[in-house]
Amino acid sequence: MTPQNALLREPATTDTVTSTRGATVTRLARTHRSPAAAGAARVRRGARAVAAAVARAGAWVQETVSPAGLLLVGLVVGGAIAGAAFGWFEAWVVAAMALALLLVCIPFLLGAHEYRVRLELDRDRVVAGSEIRGTLDIVNDGSRPALPGVVDIPVGPGLVEAHVPLLRGGGHHREDLVIAAQRRGIIDVGPMTVSRGDPLRVLRRAMSWPEVQRVHVHPVTALLPSSSAGLIRDLEGAPSNRLVDADLSFHAVRDYVPGDSQRHVHWKSTARTGKLMVRQYEESRHARIAVLLDLDLEGYADDDEFEVAVSAAASLGVRGVSEGRDVLVAVSSGLDVADRGAVQSMRSLPTITPRTLLDAVSGLEGGSASGADARVIRLESVAALVAQSFGDLSIAFLVTGSLVPLQRLRRASIALPPGIAVVAVRCEPGAEPGVRRSDELTVLTLGELDDLPQLLARGAVR
């Protein structure tokens, strides 16, 4: 180290302590700095402290002073400057009045919040078009009276306000709330904020509770007929081309091979041919229902038509799950705008129970399948991805809107595995329900959700 550098900073002195186990611990005892370096360090610490204080003050002003309060502060400052600079008596009057209003509002902020707030909802899952009822309990845990305030409860994009009266120490206030759940979706209730301020809403003081309760608003569903009424043609499964030694579908008899079970010996053929013959079967696959929901909003006339399609798809899926069948409910997965649709993917909704399926359907959102802001893939692409991943299907439902042409529905049906029944459900509110059949596709025109049970009960799937 050069003498010049030694003037700026002297080496730190250390104390070294060696334990009985042989480990060495070094402790910094003191550090010598030059006056200039120490002063610079104090300046930096002071600047950081001032910046932190300014940030806290700015946050406090933003939370406490409303736009009306900022206007009053501006009038005080502007009026004082104008009165001092130009001698305007009116400016001094305006500044004095604004200052008086601010001083009158300050006492409403005094005192600490000692509330205990609890919100209880009667249920966390409802059907679209119903109501959620809740109870708001507020207790003043302090010994002093608490001034009136307002509890702000965010409910999805909206806000519910509950007014709290003056509560004495240990006082209790209870209020019943009603939350309308008119449309399908997921509603986050919270976090709650208790605010207290002056009657002019110039100043306010708030305290938040971070708890958020989630409510799933399920789509409206229809009670569909059972599988025996036409939803599934084969209750035991669809036979495949693979031959096995034991199953349900009898295929033929063959010569006995060592190792075959004697239970499968066909004695009549054995007596006729003079040698052991055994039965052979076709392997049966478990029947699987596929429900493909089109999320491309370009295929729907309006939002109501899209909601009818979501309800129809949910009704089909719930019916299959309730009967214990293997159900696949597939929709397009979100697209990354950056790759311009080069990577296409589908998403299968959980079908463990009807509730899990309806919870997933509650959060579905439509999107565009064309243009620079494409967010979903078309129904035909979803069908092709289903065919690649799930080949053992018995029947597939294509649920879409009235603006999707018949040619696209045929392309989607061709993309699915061959040999299965394909039913297209075109939702068109107000239209006359009808059935149109062809060799590869059956098209149902759904005027309203209640038409779906009748169409399936009449044997739309044959």
Angle of helix 303-322 versus helix 354-362 axis, rounded to 10: 160
Rounded to an integer, the average pLDDT of 182-191 is 92
Q: Band of the pLDDT at 371, cuts 50, 70, 90?
A: low
Task: Measure the CA angle with vertex 358, ends 357 and 363; round to 5°.
Answer: 105
Higher pLDDT, 135 or 24: 135
| Percent of the chain scoring above 70 in pLDDT | 81
- Residue 422 shares a structural domain with residue 361: yes
Q: Is pLDDT above 70 for 237?
A: no
In which domain, by residue range, is 99 found? 30-107
- Residue 213 shares a structural domain with residue 193: yes
- Residue 258 shares a structural domain with residue 312: no
pTM, rounded to two decimals: 0.69
Q: Is pLDDT above 60 for 256?
A: yes
Residue 23 lies in a domain: no
- Residue 137 shares a structural domain with residue 188: yes
**Which segment, 65-69, 196-200, 355-359, is predicted with the most confidence on average?**
355-359
pLDDT of residue 9: 41
Higher pLDDT, 155 or 247: 155
Residue 61 lies in a domain: yes
Q: Is pLDDT above 60 for 373?
A: yes
- Residue 92 shares a structural domain with residue 211: no
- Residue 160 shares a structural domain with residue 257: no
Length of the chain equals: 462
- Residue 145 shares a structural domain with residue 173: yes
Residue 462 lies in a domain: no
Higher pLDDT, 253 or 282: 253
- Residue 421 shares a structural domain with residue 367: yes
Residue 3 lies in a domain: no
Q: Lowest-confidence range among 250-254, 263-267, 410-414?
A: 250-254
Asked whether 360 and 384 are in contact (CB, 8 A), the reply is no
Q: Band of the pLDDT at 66, cuts 50, 70, 90?
A: confident
Q: Lowest-confidence range among 10-24, 59-73, 340-354, 435-449?
A: 10-24
- Residue 308 shares a structural domain with residue 440: yes
- Residue 151 shares a structural domain with residue 293: no
Domain boundary (107, 124, 154) is at 107
The enclosing domain of 439 has a CATH number of: 3.40.50
Domain count, the chain: 4
Q: Lowest-confidence range among 103-107, 326-330, 376-380?
A: 103-107
- Please write the tens of the pLDDT for every residue from 333-368: 876 655 555 667 889 999 999 999 999 999 999 888
The enclosing domain of 212 has a CATH number of: 2.60.40.10
pLDDT of residue 2: 44
Q: Band of the pLDDT at 1, cuts 50, 70, 90?
A: very low
Residue 246 lies in a domain: yes
- Residue 137 shares a structural domain with residue 166: yes
Residue 399 lies in a domain: yes
Own/partner pairs, 64-72, CB within 8 angstroms, 24+ separation: 64/109, 64/203, 64/204, 64/205, 65/202, 65/203, 66/197, 66/201, 66/202, 66/203, 66/204, 68/200, 68/201, 68/202, 69/102, 69/105, 69/202, 69/203, 72/98, 72/99, 72/101, 72/102, 72/202
Cβ–Cβ contacts within 10 Å for residue 83, how many?
Answer: 18
Q: Is pLDDT above 70 for 235?
A: no
Average pLDDT in the chain: 81
Q: Is pLDDT above 60 for 247?
A: no
Reference 328, options 439, 420, 410; nearest CA is 420
- Please write the tens of the pLDDT for every residue from 289-302: 899 999 999 999 99
Rounded to an integer, the average pLDDT of 223-248 is 48
Q: Which residue has the tokens 């939002």?
A: 303
| Percent of the chain scoring above 90 in pLDDT | 32
pLDDT of residue 342: 61
- Residue 271 shares a structural domain with residue 150: no
User: Residue 315 and residue 289: Cα distance in Å, rounded?
Assistant: 13
Residue 309 lies in a domain: yes
Q: Which residue has the tokens 């186990």?
A: 21
Residue 380 lies in a domain: yes
Rounded to an integer, the average pLDDT of 284-313 is 88
pLDDT of residue 18: 46
